[in-house]
Chains A and B, each alone.
Chain A
Amino acid sequence: EAGVVQSPRYKIIEKKQPVAFWCNPISGHNTLYWYLQNLGQGPELLIRYENEEAVDDSQLPKDRFSAERLKGVDSTLKIQPAELGDSAVYLCASSRLEGEQFFGPGTRLTVL
Protein backbone atom coordinates (compact mmCIF):
# COMPACT_ATOMS: atom_id res chain seq x y z
CA GLU A 1 0.00 0.00 0.00
CA ALA A 2 1.12 3.56 -0.60
CA GLY A 3 2.52 5.33 2.42
CA VAL A 4 1.71 8.69 3.93
CA VAL A 5 2.53 11.45 1.48
CA GLN A 6 3.67 14.89 2.55
CA SER A 7 4.60 17.98 0.59
CA PRO A 8 6.69 19.94 0.32
CA ARG A 9 9.71 18.05 1.69
CA TYR A 10 11.60 21.26 2.39
CA LYS A 11 10.48 24.86 2.83
CA ILE A 12 12.50 27.97 3.52
CA ILE A 13 10.67 31.18 4.31
CA GLU A 14 11.26 34.56 5.87
CA LYS A 15 9.80 35.19 9.32
CA LYS A 16 6.29 36.62 9.38
CA GLN A 17 5.47 34.83 6.10
CA PRO A 18 2.71 32.22 5.94
CA VAL A 19 3.41 28.58 5.15
CA ALA A 20 1.28 25.51 4.55
CA PHE A 21 1.99 21.79 4.67
CA TRP A 22 -0.08 19.10 3.00
CA CYS A 23 -0.62 15.49 4.00
CA ASN A 24 -2.34 12.57 2.28
CA PRO A 25 -2.80 9.65 4.68
CA ILE A 26 -2.91 5.96 3.89
CA SER A 27 -6.19 4.98 2.30
CA GLY A 28 -8.68 3.74 4.85
CA HIS A 29 -6.96 5.34 7.84
CA ASN A 30 -9.51 7.44 9.66
CA THR A 31 -7.08 8.93 12.15
CA LEU A 32 -4.58 11.58 11.11
CA TYR A 33 -1.92 13.24 13.23
CA TRP A 34 0.34 16.24 12.85
CA TYR A 35 3.55 16.23 14.89
CA LEU A 36 6.35 18.72 15.35
CA GLN A 37 9.89 17.39 15.78
CA ASN A 38 12.71 19.63 16.91
CA LEU A 39 16.32 18.62 16.36
CA GLY A 40 17.41 15.95 18.82
CA GLN A 41 13.92 15.49 20.20
CA GLY A 42 11.07 13.09 19.71
CA PRO A 43 7.91 14.11 17.87
CA GLU A 44 5.31 16.09 19.79
CA LEU A 45 1.65 15.91 18.86
CA LEU A 46 0.08 19.09 17.53
CA ILE A 47 -3.34 17.83 16.50
CA ARG A 48 -5.21 14.56 15.96
CA TYR A 49 -8.19 14.05 13.66
CA GLU A 50 -10.81 11.33 13.68
CA ASN A 51 -12.27 11.66 10.19
CA GLU A 52 -13.06 15.39 9.86
CA GLU A 53 -13.15 16.10 13.59
CA ALA A 54 -10.17 17.49 15.49
CA VAL A 55 -10.39 15.39 18.67
CA ASP A 56 -7.17 16.60 20.29
CA ASP A 57 -5.74 20.02 19.45
CA SER A 58 -4.65 20.94 22.96
CA GLN A 59 -0.98 21.30 21.89
CA LEU A 60 -1.69 23.39 18.78
CA PRO A 61 -0.67 27.07 19.21
CA LYS A 62 -3.93 28.45 17.94
CA ASP A 63 -2.79 32.03 17.68
CA ARG A 64 -0.69 31.20 14.62
CA PHE A 65 -1.33 27.57 13.72
CA SER A 66 -4.41 26.18 12.03
CA ALA A 67 -5.29 22.86 10.49
CA GLU A 68 -8.10 21.37 8.51
CA ARG A 69 -9.06 17.97 7.19
CA LEU A 70 -11.79 18.43 4.65
CA LYS A 71 -13.78 15.33 3.70
CA GLY A 72 -11.82 13.34 6.26
CA VAL A 73 -8.93 12.51 3.93
CA ASP A 74 -6.20 15.04 3.08
CA SER A 75 -5.10 17.56 5.67
CA THR A 76 -3.38 20.92 5.63
CA LEU A 77 -1.41 22.51 8.47
CA LYS A 78 -0.84 26.25 8.25
CA ILE A 79 1.36 28.70 10.13
CA GLN A 80 0.64 32.40 9.84
CA PRO A 81 2.80 34.28 10.57
CA ALA A 82 5.85 32.05 10.94
CA GLU A 83 8.41 32.78 13.65
CA LEU A 84 12.07 31.79 13.91
CA GLY A 85 11.21 29.23 16.58
CA ASP A 86 8.91 27.38 14.19
CA SER A 87 11.90 25.93 12.35
CA ALA A 88 11.48 22.17 12.75
CA VAL A 89 10.31 19.05 10.96
CA TYR A 90 6.54 18.69 10.65
CA LEU A 91 5.45 15.08 10.49
CA CYS A 92 2.10 13.69 9.44
CA ALA A 93 0.98 10.23 10.49
CA SER A 94 -2.12 8.11 10.06
CA SER A 95 -3.58 5.02 11.67
CA ARG A 96 -6.76 2.99 11.80
CA LEU A 97 -7.40 3.83 15.45
CA GLU A 98 -5.11 2.65 18.21
CA GLY A 99 -1.73 1.07 17.85
CA GLU A 100 0.76 1.47 15.06
CA GLN A 101 1.03 4.87 13.41
CA PHE A 102 2.43 5.26 9.91
CA PHE A 103 4.54 8.35 9.38
CA GLY A 104 5.27 10.39 6.30
CA PRO A 105 8.79 11.65 5.47
CA GLY A 106 8.06 15.06 6.99
CA THR A 107 8.47 18.66 5.89
CA ARG A 108 11.62 20.41 7.07
CA LEU A 109 10.78 24.07 7.69
CA THR A 110 13.47 26.71 7.98
CA VAL A 111 12.39 30.20 9.03
CA LEU A 112 14.98 32.91 8.36
Chain B
Amino acid sequence: SQQGEEDPQALSIQEGENATMNCSYKTSINNLQWYRQNSGRGLVHLILIRSNEREKHSGRLRVTLDTSKKSSSLLITASRAADTASYFCATEGGSNYKLTFGKGTLLTVNP
Protein backbone atom coordinates (compact mmCIF):
# COMPACT_ATOMS: atom_id res chain seq x y z
CA SER B 1 0.00 0.00 0.00
CA GLN B 2 1.21 3.52 -0.75
CA GLN B 3 1.47 5.96 2.12
CA GLY B 4 2.55 9.09 0.29
CA GLU B 5 0.77 10.68 -2.59
CA GLU B 6 2.59 13.11 -4.86
CA ASP B 7 0.99 16.01 -6.64
CA PRO B 8 1.00 16.71 -9.52
CA GLN B 9 1.34 13.33 -11.22
CA ALA B 10 3.16 15.01 -14.10
CA LEU B 11 4.83 18.39 -14.52
CA SER B 12 6.37 19.94 -17.63
CA ILE B 13 8.46 23.10 -17.42
CA GLN B 14 11.11 25.03 -19.34
CA GLU B 15 14.77 24.93 -18.44
CA GLY B 16 15.59 27.61 -15.88
CA GLU B 17 12.15 27.56 -14.27
CA ASN B 18 11.46 26.28 -10.78
CA ALA B 19 9.63 23.01 -10.19
CA THR B 20 7.52 22.31 -7.11
CA MET B 21 6.22 18.90 -6.18
CA ASN B 22 4.03 18.08 -3.21
CA CYS B 23 3.61 14.99 -1.09
CA SER B 24 0.85 14.15 1.36
CA TYR B 25 0.89 11.23 3.77
CA LYS B 26 -1.46 9.66 6.26
CA THR B 27 0.28 8.46 9.41
CA SER B 28 2.92 9.85 11.74
CA ILE B 29 6.49 9.65 10.51
CA ASN B 30 10.08 9.65 11.76
CA ASN B 31 11.37 11.21 8.58
CA LEU B 32 10.42 11.88 4.97
CA GLN B 33 12.77 11.32 2.07
CA TRP B 34 12.78 12.33 -1.58
CA TYR B 35 14.21 10.12 -4.31
CA ARG B 36 14.78 10.61 -8.03
CA GLN B 37 14.50 7.90 -10.67
CA ASN B 38 15.70 8.43 -14.21
CA SER B 39 14.17 6.36 -16.97
CA GLY B 40 15.31 2.77 -16.70
CA ARG B 41 17.57 3.38 -13.72
CA GLY B 42 17.46 2.83 -9.97
CA LEU B 43 16.39 5.35 -7.39
CA VAL B 44 18.80 7.94 -6.07
CA HIS B 45 18.37 9.51 -2.65
CA LEU B 46 18.06 13.31 -2.77
CA ILE B 47 17.30 14.55 0.72
CA LEU B 48 15.97 13.47 4.11
CA ILE B 49 14.01 15.68 6.47
CA ARG B 50 13.24 14.57 10.02
CA SER B 51 9.88 15.03 11.69
CA ASN B 52 11.24 17.78 13.94
CA GLU B 53 12.61 19.78 11.00
CA ARG B 54 10.60 22.23 8.92
CA GLU B 55 12.93 23.06 6.05
CA LYS B 56 16.08 21.69 4.53
CA HIS B 57 18.30 22.72 1.62
CA SER B 58 20.71 20.80 -0.56
CA GLY B 59 22.16 22.60 -3.56
CA ARG B 60 19.24 23.55 -5.81
CA LEU B 61 16.81 21.50 -3.72
CA ARG B 62 14.60 22.86 -0.94
CA VAL B 63 12.32 20.59 1.06
CA THR B 64 9.68 21.67 3.53
CA LEU B 65 7.73 19.53 5.97
CA ASP B 66 4.48 20.39 7.72
CA THR B 67 3.65 17.57 10.11
CA SER B 68 0.39 19.22 11.19
CA LYS B 69 -0.85 18.99 7.60
CA LYS B 70 1.04 15.74 6.91
CA SER B 71 2.56 17.23 3.79
CA SER B 72 5.91 18.00 2.24
CA SER B 73 7.10 19.90 -0.80
CA LEU B 74 10.19 19.60 -2.96
CA LEU B 75 11.37 22.67 -4.82
CA ILE B 76 13.98 22.41 -7.57
CA THR B 77 15.29 25.83 -8.53
CA ALA B 78 16.76 26.79 -11.90
CA SER B 79 15.83 23.45 -13.42
CA ARG B 80 17.97 21.74 -16.04
CA ALA B 81 17.13 19.19 -18.73
CA ALA B 82 19.08 16.65 -16.67
CA ASP B 83 16.50 17.04 -13.87
CA THR B 84 13.99 15.21 -16.06
CA ALA B 85 13.00 12.18 -13.97
CA SER B 86 10.36 10.76 -11.67
CA TYR B 87 10.45 12.08 -8.12
CA PHE B 88 9.17 10.02 -5.21
CA CYS B 89 8.54 10.90 -1.62
CA ALA B 90 8.96 8.13 0.92
CA THR B 91 7.98 8.16 4.56
CA GLU B 92 9.70 6.26 7.34
CA GLY B 93 7.64 5.67 10.44
CA GLY B 94 7.47 3.42 13.46
CA SER B 95 10.35 1.41 14.83
CA ASN B 96 11.01 -0.81 11.83
CA TYR B 97 12.63 1.76 9.51
CA LYS B 98 10.22 0.79 6.76
CA LEU B 99 10.09 3.19 3.81
CA THR B 100 6.71 3.63 2.12
CA PHE B 101 6.80 5.31 -1.28
CA GLY B 102 4.25 7.38 -3.14
CA LYS B 103 3.42 6.98 -6.82
CA GLY B 104 5.75 9.74 -7.92
CA THR B 105 5.72 12.92 -9.98
CA LEU B 106 7.06 12.75 -13.52
CA LEU B 107 9.02 15.95 -14.16
CA THR B 108 9.94 16.92 -17.72
CA VAL B 109 12.32 19.84 -18.18
CA ASN B 110 12.32 21.07 -21.76
CA PRO B 111 15.55 22.60 -23.09
Contact = CB atoms under 8 A, between A and B. Distances in A.
Interface in B29-60: 30-31, 33, 35, 41-45, 48
Contact of A42 (B45, B48, B101): B101
Interface residues of B, number: 25
A4 B1 CA distance: 25
Contacts, number: 58
B43 A91 contact: yes
A61 interface: no
A14 interface: no
A43 interface: yes
B11 to A, nearest CB: 15
B99 interface: yes
B103 A98 contact: no
Interface string B93-111: 0001111111110000000
16 contacts: A31-B97, A40-B104, A41-B104, A42-B4, A44-B2, A45-B99, A56-B96, A91-B43, A98-B31, A98-B97, A99-B92, A100-B48, A103-B35, A103-B44, A105-B41, A105-B42
Interface of B: 1-2, 4, 30-31, 33, 35, 41-45, 48, 88, 90, 92, 96-104
Given A40-B103, A44-B1, A44-B101, 14 more contacts: A31-B97, A33-B99, A41-B104, A42-B101, A42-B103, A43-B43, A43-B101, A48-B98, A56-B96, A95-B97, A97-B97, A103-B42, A103-B44, A104-B42
